[in-house]
Amino acid sequence: MYKKYTFHISGMHCGSCVLITEGELSEINNVKSAKAKMNEGIVEIEADFGERTDKEILDELNMALDEYGYTLSLEKNVVPKKWKDLFYAFPLAIVFMILFIVLQKMGIVNLVNAEKITLPTVFLLGIIASLSSCMAVVGGLVLSMSATFAKEGDKFKPQILFHLGRLLSFFLLGGLIGVIGDFFILGRTSYFVLGLISGLIMLILGLNLLDVFHFAKRIQFTLPKFISLNLLKIRELNHSLVPFLIGAITFFLPCGFTQSMQIYSLSIGGFVSGASIMFVFALGTLPILSLMSFSSVGLKSEKVKSIFFKTTGLVVIFFALLNILSGMTAYGILPPLFNL
């Protein structure tokens, strides 16, 4: 005898989650059909579980969904909004922002006085770039993405793939710049649009990390649904291909140092020199960017984690606004508002 069951589901946040949930549940014995409704946060199942209690049924269903981080329950699971943790996150974020601004005011970019560019100089420039205003652009993106994945329980793979994508694209595109010239160097409008898009992504992820607003929840790092051919591969792709591609795209993000290095590679010419300059530069940015990627690894207690993600969220929002506003200045939409 098939009966209809309705459960509340938590942990579902994207289009592909619906597909995964429905796919996993309908593969369970006795389940005839499963329909997930993301907006209402419920799953409707038509199944024949005989005389088993609701609790036993839930346990079996939850086992199938466990690896994806979704949970079914009879009662609506109200996640307490941890506003209180913001009291700690706010001052922490401010301290970080002050450090960032002081570092710029101290003139960290003036540390390099080289007349001649050698590979060790390029490496040093990479380190300085990752501490300077480029941190607001690339660092902000790294921080928001890494923290978002870490929050979903994935602390290493997506982050490592991001850095691999970045290193690989700097190597290949750097080489191409050396061969075919300024084809890969973007114009003013392209930089503006790319900067704006990455700023908006950071803003949304930052708001998500705060965990106090619900409207931003639905927007996640996901591939469009039509690419999602194989249900089980979706999550895997979202956590591998997406960070890899984002890493690769950072080649084009507006960061002054990156652009200087691209121009320099262009002026030198040749695949090998272009590739090695851009690769070594990306390598120089790696230590600081990795630090931002893996800063959540050691955190154990839920309380500390919540404060950490909220702090990260605030810093990311600060960087995002800084990027968007200064991008508008560079495009002539806004007058200069600040000078780092």
Which residues bind to another protein, rule: CB under 8 A?
A: 87-88, 90-91, 94-95, 97-98, 101, 105, 107-110, 112-115, 117, 125, 128-129, 132-134, 136-137, 187-188, 191, 195, 254-257, 259-261, 263-264, 322-323, 325-332, 335-340
State the minimum distance, in angstroms, from the CB of residue 241 to another protein.
28
Q: What is the bridge-based pairing of β-strands 3-10 and 42-47?
A: antiparallel
Type of residue at 82: K
State the minimum distance, in angstroms, from the CB of residue 297 to another protein.
27
State the minimum distance, in angstroms, from the CB of residue 13 to another protein.
30
Closer residue to another protein (CB): 219 or 330: 330
Closer residue to another protein (CB): 43 or 210: 210
Closer residue to another protein (CB): 65 or 142: 142
State the minimum distance, in angstroms, from the CB of residue 24 to another protein.
44
Tokens of 336: 């200069």
66 half-sphere exposure, CB direction, 13 A CA radius: 7
Closer residue to another protein (CB): 71 or 121: 121
Closer residue to another protein (CB): 134 or 145: 134
Backbone CA torsion sign across 190, 103, 312, 168 = positive
Comparing C-alpha atoms, which of 313, 245, 267 is closest to residue 93?
A: 313
State the minimum distance, in angstroms, from the CB of residue 129 to another protein.
8
- Work out the burial of residue 321: count CB atoms within 10 Å of its CB; fewer than 13 is exposed, 13-18 middle, 19 or more buried: middle
Contact 170, 251 (CB under 8 A): yes
CA 205 – CA 217 distance, rounded (Å): 9
State the minimum distance, in angstroms, from the CB of residue 315 to another protein.
12
Closer residue to another protein (CB): 19 or 86: 86
CA 95 – CA 311 distance, rounded (Å): 10
State the minimum distance, in angstroms, from the CB of residue 7 to another protein.
39
- Work out the burial of residue 116: count CB atoms within 10 Å of its CB; fewer than 13 is exposed, 13-18 middle, 19 or more buried: exposed
Give, in order, the Cα–Cα distances in Å from 167 to each of 195, 235, 249, 256, 289. 20, 24, 11, 18, 12
State the minimum distance, in angstroms, from the CB of residue 174 to another protein.
15
Closer residue to another protein (CB): 68 or 331: 331
130 half-sphere exposure, CB direction, 13 A CA radius: 22
Closer residue to another protein (CB): 58 or 194: 194
CA 26 – CA 22 distance, rounded (Å): 6
